[in-house]
A and B are shown apart, each in its own frame.
Chain A
C-alpha cells in the first residue's frame, strides 16, 4: 500500500526562483543567507525518506488559470507538467514527471468523498509549484520523483475555508493510503507565511501570528481550522491566506506527526518565509 512519509511546507516567492540557481554564492549574501540556511535539514530528511511521489498542494497565480474559468480545487492528471514564462523573467524549470494512475485514483477517491474537483490533463505549473520543488531538490534534481499537482484557488474570493482545505487534505490522505501500490509519498503545502502585496496595507507582516501557526500546525491543527478566510486575511495579510495550502497538507497526515525541522525569516520580497518538515509515522 502507498504510505505518506511526511509533509513539507515552504514559501514560494518568485524572487527565490531567481536566487535558487545561485544558492551557493548567495549563502554569503546577508539578504539570502538566513533564508537558504534553513533548507539543508529539509533536504537531508528527504534524502532519507526517499519519496517516490510528491503531491504538491499550491496555488496558481495566473499562469494556468485565468478568471474566465477559476476552479476552487483542481487536480493534475497528466504524464508531465511544464513550467512557462510568467511574465517577469524567472528561469523556466525542467518539466516534472506525473503519475497518471495515482492521479486518477486520487480523483476517484476525492469525488467519492464529495470533493468535486476539476481534473486537468494539461496543466502549466507556476512558481507556486516550481519554487518549492527547486528548493527541496537542489539543482532541479527532482527527476526521480513523480508529482501530482493539487491547485487551490487563492486568487478570487470566495476562497475555500481553512476547515474545508484541511478536510480536502484528509480526503487526499485517505486516497493515497488506499492506493494498492507500495509507494512512499510526501505531501507539500506551499506559500505563506504572512504577506500582503496590494493596497495601502502592502508590506504587512505578522510575526506573532506566523510563529503561532508554525507551532500549532504540528499537533493542534484543528485550532487553526477555526479561522475564517477573512480572519486569515486580517491576521496574515491578503496573500497570507495562502496558509490554507499548509492546512491542506497537514490534513493529509493522519499518523503520528512529529516536527523534524522548521525555519522562519523576515523577509524575502514582501513575505515572511516559513519552512516546516513533518514526519508522519504509521
Chain B
C-alpha cells in the first residue's frame, strides 16, 4: 500500500491542511458546533451567549480563542474543517472571499485581484 501521510502532504503543499482522521478527532467539538449552525435557532442561541454555546459543545481553549477572535486560520489549526467553518463565517455575513483574504493576510481587494490575475 502506498499512501502518503497527511503531515507529509502539508509539508509538500505549504498552506494546505488535509482534513483527515487526525484533524477530525482534534476538531470534532468545533466542527459539531459549526454544523449546528444549519439551524436558525442555533445561530440565534450562539449570538445571544457565545461562551455558553461553546461550553455546550465542549470546545477547548484553542478553539474558543479562535472563535472569539473570528480567526479562521486558527480554527483550521485547531482542527476545523472549512465546510463547517463556512457556516460560522456565514453568521457574520463573511463570504469565502472574506475568509480567504483573512487567512492570506490580504485585503479583500488584494485577494480578489489575485484571484482574477490567475485567469490571465
A270, B87: Cα distance in complex, Å: 16
Q: Which one of B19, B83, B100 lies within 8 Å of A61 (CB-CB)?
A: B83
Q: Does B83 lie within 8 Å of A62, measured CB to CB?
A: yes
Q: Does A199 lie within 8 Å of B32, measured CB to CB?
A: no
Question: Number of contacting residues on B, CB 8 A?
Answer: 51
- Using Cβ atoms and an 8 Å threshold, which residues of chain A touch B83? 61-62, 155
Q: Which one of B15, B32, B89, B91 lies within 8 Å of A66 (CB-CB)?
A: B32
Question: Number of contacting residues on A, CB 8 A?
Answer: 40
Residues 41-92 (chain A) with a chain B CB within 8 angstroms? 61-63, 66-68, 84-89
Q: Does A87 lie within 8 Å of B76, measured CB to CB?
A: no
Q: Which one of A67, A228, A238 lies within 8 Å of B28 (CB-CB)?
A: A67
Measured CB to CB, the closest approach of chain B to A85, in angstroms, equals 6
Q: Does B73 lie within 8 Å of A199, measured CB to CB?
A: yes
Q: Check A197 for interface membership: any CB of B closer than 8 A.
A: yes
Q: Check B97 for interface membership: any CB of A closer than 8 A.
A: yes
Q: Check A202 for interface membership: any CB of B closer than 8 A.
A: yes
Could you tell me the dominant secondary structure of chain A's interface residues? loop
Measured CB to CB, the closest approach of chain B to A37, in angstroms, equals 15
Could you tell me the dominant secondary structure of chain B's interface residues? helix
Q: Does B116 lie within 8 Å of A267, measured CB to CB?
A: yes
- Using Cβ atoms and an 8 Å threshold, which residues of chain B touch A201? 13-16
- Using Cβ atoms and an 8 Å threshold, which residues of chain B touch A197? 82, 86, 96, 99-100
Q: Which one of B16, B85, B119 lies within 8 Å of A233 (CB-CB)?
A: B16
Closest chain A residue to B28, Cβ basis? A67
Q: Does B9 lie within 8 Å of A230, measured CB to CB?
A: yes
Q: Does B31 lie within 8 Å of A67, measured CB to CB?
A: yes
Closest chain A residue to B94, Cβ basis? A88
**Number of residue pairs across A and B with beta carbons under 8 Å?**
132
Q: What string of 1s and 0s marks CB contacts (under 8 Å) between A209-221 and chain B?
A: 0000000000000
- Using Cβ atoms and an 8 Å threshold, which residues of chain A touch B95? 15, 269
Residues 14-70 (chain B) with a chain A CB within 8 angstroms? 14-21, 24, 28, 31-32, 34-35, 37-40, 43
Q: Check A95 for interface membership: any CB of B closer than 8 A.
A: no
> Most B CB atoms within 10 A — which of A87, A155, A230, A269?
A87
- Given A87-B90, A199-B76, A156 and B38 touching (CB < 8 A)? no
Q: Which one of A84, A85, A200 lies within 8 Å of B103 (CB-CB)?
A: A200
24 CB-based A-B contacts, threshold 8 Å: A62-B83, A67-B32, A67-B35, A85-B38, A86-B87, A89-B90, A155-B83, A156-B19, A156-B81, A157-B21, A158-B20, A198-B17, A199-B17, A199-B73, A200-B73, A205-B118, A228-B4, A233-B16, A233-B18, A234-B12, A234-B13, A234-B16, A267-B118, A272-B118
